[in-house]
């Protein structure tokens, strides 16, 4: 029996979807524990490139059971589209179960997201505008509607009541909207949610643990977007960290074994907020172009920069990471000297941690390492990689005091090495 957690250590888009897909052969159950359709998890195999938003990334493995946990927020319209997109593929979808306790994103939640961002003006979060923040606000405010409520006789009544509250806030924002089309689509798409079994996923998972099943908890976003520990307020509205797997699935901490932390060999961020190692030069443009750094959910260009060790160490500590996975090393091929941020200069002082006031005045201090020229995407064995690539991996393992157990050098399932 094992419950392992896989999550992002940076600002999201580290490659979680790819690695969950690769690892699913080792697990009976893949369970998403937080976030919603703000996530975009990309999988590539057998010539197929596919992006998932709400559905766990084990969905293309025959025999795997996929669970959308209580910590996830679901937009029925996006969920329906996800199912339609999977139906178009020439691959069978494995079993999918949905927690009755997962909260629903209402059409008005999306409007509220847009209104809030508009009101913030140039201080906007850069939200994906999927209604994530307002839905979690209603969850913690004890007003939300959940998947298990869909079949209740008073569902429509409760929906209308919540909608009325939302409309008052939209009026306060003086936000113009047209709800009718969105609303009828939303109600129609509930039928797709009804087609799947709704379960009390915590009981289901407790029984699975008793039966000795292997479970992988799949995170969304990344540690630096966590509501408590991220670069607040430029964060998402859920706990993206390992503890979020406990609350988002109802699994106790003493049942957790490995915590897999994924990071890119460099760093990206989409949306607003501090990014100490951000680049505005040729190297940054190289990362964006070669790494194809465009958001899988919104298509926005991702900001790119060098790897940030103080931020990574912070993320490793908060999550209790036992194994690291390094993604997209191939993207750095051709860059002469690779820089690694080891410390920051903060108000004239050299520090090695992310301060509370991280929003301003942090200047990275870099160490330079040798780059490599070879195309890593064509590698058949990790041993054949250039020495400077091996040196980069060893350097990071030493600095981060954690083993790197997977090295990914391309988007495809096959471009993955186990160390
Ligand atoms: P996630 O949100 O963490 O699942 O990551 P995304 O899917 O949003 O973004 C990762 C992007 O990098 C996707 O387009 C992947 O196909 C791609 N990718 C994943 N691993 C690698 C890799 O090792 N090399 C390259 N070049 N691309 C990768
Ligand atoms: P995956 O799972 C990258 C960012 C948004 C914005 C902030 C808040 O694919 O790694 P929200 O929509 O939650 O209100 O947005 O968080 N963000 C992500 N960035 N990857 C994601 O998910 C993200 N989900 C949200 O860009 O800055
Ligand atoms: Mg993504």
What is the rounded distance in angstroms from the CA atom of residue 92 to the CA atom of residue 58? 12
Sign of CA dihedral 270, 276, 280, 286: negative
Residue nearest to atom 26 of ligand 1 (CA): 410
What is the rounded distance in angstroms from the CA atom of residue 117 to the CA atom of residue 140? 20
Mean pLDDT score across all residues of the chain: 97
Instruction: Give the residue among 330, 341, 336, 272 at the shortest CA–CA distance from 306.
Output: 341
Strand (E) or helix (H) holding 323: strand 323-327
Residue-wise pLDDT tens digits, 55-77: 999 999 999 999 999 999 999 99
User: Is 203 noted as a catalytic residue in this protein?
Assistant: no
Residue 1 has pLDDT above 70, yes or no: no
Q: Which ligand is the nearest neighbour of the Cα of 262?
A: 1
Residue nearest to atom 13 of ligand 2 (CA): 236
Distances (CA, A) of 206 to 164, 202, 203, 274: 38, 6, 5, 40
**Mean pLDDT, to the nearest integer, of 110-125?**
97
**Mean pLDDT, to the nearest integer, of 103-132?**
97
Residue 21 has pLDDT above 80, yes or no: yes
Please answer whether residues 339 and 371 qualify as being in contact, where contact means their C-beta atoms are separated by less than 8 angstroms.
Answer: no
Cβ-count burial of 398 within 10 angstroms (0-12 exposed, 13-18 middle, 19+ buried)? Answer: exposed
pLDDT at 361: 77
What one-character DSSP code corresponds to residue 39? -
Strand ranges (E), 219-264: 256-264
Residue nearest to atom 20 of ligand 2 (CA): 12
What is the rounded distance in angstroms from the CA atom of residue 235 to the CA atom of residue 231? 6
Q: How many CB atoms lie within 10 A of CB 185?
A: 13
For the CA of 113, the closest atom of ligand 2 is: 14
pLDDT at 360: 66
What is the rounded distance in angstroms from the CA atom of residue 359 to the CA atom of residue 127? 17
pLDDT at 410: 98
Distances (CA, A) of 343 to 10, 306, 351: 16, 13, 6
Residue nearest to atom 2 of ligand 1 (CA): 13
Residue-wise pLDDT tens digits, 245-260: 999 999 999 999 999 9
* Ligand 2 pocket, residues with Cβ under 6 angstroms: 8, 11-13, 35, 38-41, 125-128, 130, 132-133, 220-222, 225, 236, 270-271, 296
What is the rounded distance in angstroms from the CA atom of residue 225 to the CA atom of residue 227? 6
**Mean pLDDT, to the nearest integer, of 373-378?**
97
Point out the catalytic residue in the list 4, 21, 41, 103: 41
Please answer whether residues 277 and 307 qualify as being in contact, where contact means their C-beta atoms are separated by less than 8 angstroms.
Answer: yes
Residue-wise pLDDT tens digits, 344-372: 999 889 999 988 877 667 899 999 999 99
What is the rounded distance in angstroms from the CA atom of residue 52 to the CA atom of residue 117? 25
Q: What is the torsion angle, in degrees rounded to the nearest 10, for the CA atoms of residue 79, residue 85, residue 91 and residue 93? A: 10
User: Is 226 noted as a catalytic residue in this protein?
Assistant: no
């Amino acid at each position: 029996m094992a419950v392992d957690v896989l999550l992002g250590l940076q600002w999201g888009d580290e490659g979680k979807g790819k690695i969950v897909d690769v690892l699913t052969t080792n697990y009976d159950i893949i369970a998403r524990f937080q976030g919603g359709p703000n996530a975009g998890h990309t999988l590539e195999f057998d010539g197929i490139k596919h992006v998932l938003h709400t559905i766990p990334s084990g969905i293309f493995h025959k025999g795997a059971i996929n669970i959308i946990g209580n910590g996830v927020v679901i937009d029925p319209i996006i969920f329906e589209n996800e199912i339609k997109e999977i139906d178009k593929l020439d691959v069978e979808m494995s079993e999918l179960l949905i927690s009755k306790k997962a909260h629903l994103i209402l059409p008005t939640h999306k409007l509220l997201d847009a209104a809030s961002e508009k009101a913030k003006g140039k201080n906007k979060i850069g939200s994906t505008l999927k209604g994530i923040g307002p839905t979690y606000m209603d969850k913690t405010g004890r007003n939300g509607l959940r998947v298990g409520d869909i079949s209740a006789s008073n569902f429509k009544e409760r929906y209308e009541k919540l909608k009325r509250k939302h409309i008052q806030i939209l009026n306060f924002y003086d936000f113009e909207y047209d709800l009718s089309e969105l609303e009828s689509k939303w109600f129609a798409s509930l039928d797709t949610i009804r087609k799947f079994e709704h379960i009390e996923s915590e009981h289901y998972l407790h029984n699975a643990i008793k039966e000795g099943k292997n479970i992988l908890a799949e995170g969304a976003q990344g540690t630096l977007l966590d509501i408590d520990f991220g670069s607040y307020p430029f964060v998402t509205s859920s706990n993206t960290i390992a503890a979020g797997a406990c609350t988002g699935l109802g699994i106790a901490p003493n049942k957790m074994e490995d915590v897999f932390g994924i990071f890119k060999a460099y760093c990206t961020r989409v949306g607003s907020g501090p990014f100490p190692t951000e680049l505005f030069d040729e190297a940054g443009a190289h990362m964006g172009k070669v790494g194809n750094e465009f958001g899988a959910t919104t298509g926005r260009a991702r900001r790119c920069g060098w790897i940030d060790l103080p931020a990574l160490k912070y993320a490793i500590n908060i999550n209790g990471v036992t194994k690291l996975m390094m993604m997209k090393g191939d993207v750095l091929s051709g860059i002469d000297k690779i820089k690694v941020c080891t410390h920051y200069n903060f108000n004239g002082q050299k520090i090695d941690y992310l301060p509370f006031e991280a929003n301003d005045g942090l200047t990275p201090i870099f160490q330079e390492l040798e780059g490599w020229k070879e195309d890593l995407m064509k590698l058949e064995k990790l041993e054949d990689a250039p020495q400077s690539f091996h040196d980069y991996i060893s350097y990071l393992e030493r600095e981060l005091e954690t083993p790197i157990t997977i090295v990914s050098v391309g988007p495809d399932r096959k471009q993955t090495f186990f160390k």
